[in-house]
């Protein structure tokens, strides 16, 4: 981030905000999300060589993965942020560079709650689709979150260098299954598995240019590009070019040309075909983000008051993470700057407590690498060190008070009791449970019957429990023992209903760490029976925005 002096005027803040594009990549596992993250960093020249190579068994860990579990499995299970400057290859060298804030997200559906938190911090999303598999369940769920939050989506059909489905078939699936009209900006030349280049579409669907790619060894370097006009492309590629040109014209005839207003309204999605592994089509993705994705805008508070980007400083915490640096054992609260200018060391107000908060230690973090942040602007992501009072959904501000809406929790579906057998480790065990709870790694439930020594962990997916075990061992030297509970779903209840629910077979009532009472049920039939027999009891569905 910039270390320049704080701008004095709202005009300067508006200019800084206008240069920024803050987005997340959403996808089903194995669609190539972490590989694309590195390819984008490579094209912005943040790194000189991509860290992903063919084959998971021999794959280097990507720059954004920092947990040993992530490196071993080749998936991302936590979110991270990457900021870099980017100037389009054909852009004005004298103009200020665009600032890209790429917030990487977990690559497994068990961590969809963490992904949802990330989506509260971005202005756009890249929906990454495997060319062979098309739309998959996790992609569909996350797209619904984007639709719910009004986040415009750019679609990237990845892995076009491998055998896959027909491009028109993939577009039809997007339109039919999620009701989003795909509007390709670039069209592939060559079928899936024979990726030669991209046809750049004009406003009427006519081919305006051919971008021909050349492979590099293992995709480690930026793929060279050759630009040809349509006549030269036809001579070079023959039938492959002719097919691409005809399909592009067909798209135009069916109204699948880009319209910026419809894109921002969430009705259409620009489409780009790419191979993140080979670095084909990557800078076209960056160019599209810069040209079409919205810059940071206003955000509404809980009282519907709008906080403009030029208003005094405000930010929302969307993630808390500890254990990223074993040498320091610190805790980072990641905040998205909503308005004004952030300056390291400034004293802000914590909206949830009304207390002052000093921002002495502020970092950007990529993997385990950190750098100090002196100044940041709307759209930027900043990690505050040892911010023990902060939790996801909290607001920081200066001057006029603002409090942004809290981030809802998902409905858990998996439940386990966690214990430690060694009495000498009990204090570390308690600290570990409290730490992971405050980060939102799992939800922690307690009741008088089980006591503090046997809290219940509630998770959206079972892999969250694996993260708990791995981090307790690595960070707290605790060997936890997990015992699955025979519950399948949870409902919010109240104190008046809790006593009667506690007397029912197949039901147990707990208090979550935020004070919410949850009733756990053995199965949906038990829940339906109690709702029928005792309709006066309070049993409310938890927010499950990803469904």
User: Known binding site for GTP: residues?
Assistant: 104-108
Handedness of CA 276, 280, 284, 286 (dihedral sign): positive
229: buried, middle or exposed (CB in 10 Å: 19+, 13-18, 0-12)? exposed
Interatomic CA distance for residues 135 and 271, integer angstroms: 14
Residue among 460, 440, 444 nearest 452 (CA): 444
| Residue 156 DSSP label | E
Rounded to the nearest 5°, which phi and psi values hold at 499?
-60, -45
Counting DSSP H helices and E strands in the chain, the numbers are: 14, 31
**Residues within the annotated binding site?**
104-108
Number of neighbours of residue 336 by Cβ within 10 angstroms: 28
Interatomic CA distance for residues 308 and 297, integer angstroms: 7
Interatomic CA distance for residues 70 and 79, integer angstroms: 11
In 158-278, which residue ranges form alpha helices assigned H by DSSP? 167-178, 230-237, 239-253, 260-264
Length of the chain: 547
Interatomic CA distance for residues 153 and 334, integer angstroms: 23
Burial track 441-478 (b if 16+ CB lie within 10 A, e otherwise): bbbbbbbeeeeeeebbbbbbbebbbbbbbbbbeebbeb
Q: Are the C-beta atoms of 128 and 36 separated by less than 8 Å?
A: yes
Strand order in the sheet with 268-273: 80-86, 98-104, 20-27, 124-130, 153-158, 268-273, 181-184
Which residues, including other chains, have CB under 8 Å from residue 380's CB and lie 6 or more apart?
1, 20, 22, 83, 99, 101, 336, 337, 342, 373
C-alpha distances (whole Å) from 93 to each of 43, 96, 101, 292 are 16, 8, 20, 20
Partners of 414 in the beta sheet? 459
């Amino acid at each position: 981030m910039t270390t320049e002096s704080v701008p004095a005027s709202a005009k300067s803040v508006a200019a800084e905000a206008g240069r920024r594009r803050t987005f997340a990549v959403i996808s089903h596992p194995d669609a190539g999300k972490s590989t694309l993250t590195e390819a984008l960093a490579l094209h912005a020249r943040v790194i000189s060589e991509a860290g992903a190579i063919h084959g998971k068994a021999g794959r280097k860990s990507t720059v954004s993965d920092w947990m040993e579990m992530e490196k071993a499995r080749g998936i991302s299970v936590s979110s991270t942020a990457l900021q870099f400057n980017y100037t389009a290859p054909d852009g004005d060298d004298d103009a200020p560079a665009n600032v890209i804030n790429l917030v990487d997200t977990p690559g497994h559906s068990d961590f969809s709650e963490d992904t949802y938190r990330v989506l509260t911090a971005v202005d756009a999303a890249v929906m990454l689709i495997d060319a062979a598999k098309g739309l998959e369940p996790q992609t569909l769920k996350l797209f619904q979150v984007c639709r719910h939050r009004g986040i415009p989506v750019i679609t990237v059909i990845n892995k076009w260098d491998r055998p896959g489905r027909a491009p028109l078939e993939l577009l039809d699936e997007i339109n039919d299954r999620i009701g989003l009209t795909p509007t390709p900006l670039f069209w592939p030349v060559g079928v899936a598995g024979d990726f030669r280049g991209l046809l750049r579409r004009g406003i009427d669907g006519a081919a305006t240019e051919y971008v021909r790619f050349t492979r590099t060894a293992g995709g480690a370097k930026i793929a060279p590009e050759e630009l040809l006009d349509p006549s030269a492309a036809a001579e070079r590629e023959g039938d492959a070019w002719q097919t691409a040109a005809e399909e592009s014209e067909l798209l135009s005839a069916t109204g699948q040309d880009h319209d910026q207003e419809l894109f921002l309204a969430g009705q259409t999605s620009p489409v780009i075909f790419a191979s993140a592994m080979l670095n084909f089509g990557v800078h076209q993705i960056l160019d599209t983000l810069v040209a079409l994705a919205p810059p940071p805008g206003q955000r509404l508070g809980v009282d519907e008051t709008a906080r403009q980007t030029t208003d005094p400083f405000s930010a929302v915490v969307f993630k808390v993470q500890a254990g990223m640096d074993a040498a320091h054992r610190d805790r980072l609260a990641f905040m998205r700057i909503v308005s004004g200018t952030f300056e390291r060391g400034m004293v802000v107000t914590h909206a949830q407590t009304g207390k002052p908060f000093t921002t002495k230690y502020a970092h950007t973090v990529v993997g385990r690498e950190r750098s100090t942040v002196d100044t940041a602007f709307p759209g930027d992501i900043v990690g505050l060190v040892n911010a023990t009072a902060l939790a996801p959904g909290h607001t920081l501000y200066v001057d006029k008070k603002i409090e942004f809406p809290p981030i809802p929790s998902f409905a858990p579906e998996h439940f386990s009791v966690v214990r430690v057998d060694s009495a000498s480790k009990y204090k570390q065990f308690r600290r570990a449970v409290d730490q992971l709870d405050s980060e939102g790694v799992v939800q922690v439930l307690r009741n008088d019957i089980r006591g503090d020594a046997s809290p219940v962990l509630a998770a959206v997916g079972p892999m969250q429990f694996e993260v708990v075990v791995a981090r307790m061992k690595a960070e707290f030297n605790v060997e936890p023992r997990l015992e699955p509970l025979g519950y399948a779903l949870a409902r919010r209840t109240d104190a008046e209903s809790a006593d009667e629910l506690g007397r029912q077979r197949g039901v147990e009532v707990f208090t979550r760490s935020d004070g919410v009472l949850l009733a756990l049920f053995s199965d949906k039939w038990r829940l339906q029976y109690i709702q029928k027999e005792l309709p006066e009891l309070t049993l409310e569905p938890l927010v499950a925005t990803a469904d």
